[in-house]
Structure 1
Amino acid sequence: MKNTLTRGLTNLLPMVLSIWLFWSLFISLDGLGKLLLDIVGVKAAFVGAGFCLVAGLVFVAGLLFSVSPIAWVYGWIENQLMKFPLFKSVYGSIRDIASLMNRDGQPKTQKTVLVKQANGSFVVGFIMSDSAPQPLADALPEGDWVPVLFQLSYQIAGVTSLVKRDDLIFVDWSFEDAMRFNLTAGISNSKEA
């Protein structure tokens, strides 16, 4: 009975939580859109009209940001707001996370690597950039240093270390599968892994 219950929970929980998360996001955005429609005095014609309005506004914003003057004005406003330390910290973090979703035209530099430890064991890491930032490269000893992220299990956080490229063992393993392996401490093994 315990195994059957565990098997049911293991299979249903991820699906139910994922559907709940996306449904909650839909309801929240639909409510925001309905609020905007109410402000201009328009009644929502159908369920999801608010969501469609928000999605449309985001699409139009994307089009507007492709126009140089609007992007310049937004950049200027962003630079002015970045003068406030608390805003800079919060906004910078959210912008960095959002930029992970938008990789248009940028090569995927994340490569899975193994790094040998002093005791002979290996740690799975990810090259996140092809080179270390210039201030760090200037401070490091001579060599080809790259930032490697060592993801911590069951956490979004990780530790970034600078490792010589010669000390890395490149692994033909997708970033997504390797990240899933690291996040779950190896419990989640995909078929590709």
Structure 2
Amino acid sequence: MKVMINFFIKGILIFVPIGLVIYLIYKLFLFLDSLLGNILKPVMDENYIPGIGIILTIVLITVLGWLSNRFIGGAIVRFVDKLLATIPLVKTLYSVIKDTIHSFLGEKKSFSKVALVTLPGTNMKCLGFITSENVGDFYQPLNTHVAVYIPQTFQVAGVTFLIPVEDVEILDVKAEDAMKFILSGGMTSK
């Protein structure tokens, strides 16, 4: 009986990560396909092939990126950007989403520097990511502080601390490796 339980646990350890990844990829596929696919399905009827929505979404996003580099297209993008930045409530949501996307995909990636922070009065340390080295731009009295985002283990949440520069040590560690280490509760390593 003990051997069977051991095999069952090993099966779970193999199946659950693979199953969850396949399930998440499937759900992501359905979501991305539905973005434009829901518009195309009634038009194409039985000729609709799953995946056309994703292909069209990718093409549309690429064309939008190309247009943003052109004079007229760039002017339209800047106009929409300014418009969204002036509407109450929408501007807050828009700026948070825009800044977050730019921090991951833009030229200045926010999660590129891994920080080691010693908790005051203890020898305990925590890992985080430098998200802003110019906190003084936000609030002048904090011009000697940096913003460090500390993710929480086993979830996609975290806390942003404003810490004096001298209390932060930058580690020579890939941000991806540090994120895996933090989110797994320290169970993964390089």
Shorter-chain TM band: 0.7 to 0.9
Separation in structure 2 between the aligned mates of residue 60 and residue 49 of structure 1, nearest angstrom: 16
Query: What amino acid is the match of 1:158?
Result: G
Q: Structure 2 matches for 1:69-148, cutoff 5 A?
A: 69-103=72-106, 105-106=107-108, 110-117=112-119, 118-136=121-139, 138-140=140-142, 144-148=144-148
Asked whether the equivalents of residues 103 and 110 of structure 2 are also in contact (C-alpha less than 8 Å), the reply is: no
Separation in structure 1 between the aligned mates of residue 175 and residue 89 of structure 2, nearest angstrom: 32
2:167 alignment partner in structure 1: 167
Aligned residue among 63, 69, 84 for 1:66: 69
Query: What amino acid is the match of 2:32?
Result: L
Q: What 5-or-longer segments of structure 1 have no aligned partner?
A: none
Equivalent position SS for 1:148: strand
1:149 alignment partner in structure 2: 149
In angstroms, what is the RMSD of aligned CA positions? Answer: 2.7
Per-residue deviation, 1:66: 1.8
Identity %: 29
Range 167-176 or range 87-96, more displaced: 87-96
Asked whether the equivalents of residues 109 and 129 of structure 1 are also in contact (C-alpha less than 8 Å), the reply is: no
Change (3 A) 1:71 1:165: same
TM-score by length of 2: 0.79
Change (3 A) 1:180 1:109: closer
Separation in structure 2 between the aligned mates of residue 179 and residue 57 of structure 1, nearest angstrom: 31
Aligned length, in residue pairs: 185
Separation in structure 2 between the aligned mates of residue 6 and residue 85 of structure 1, nearest angstrom: 52
TM-score by length of 1: 0.78
2:15 alignment partner in structure 1: 12
Deviations 1:134-156 (A, max 9, x none): 142x223xx73211112222232
Asked whether the equivalents of residues 136 and 145 of structure 2 are also in contact (C-alpha less than 8 Å), the reply is: no
Bigger helix share: 2
Per-residue deviation, 1:96: 3.1
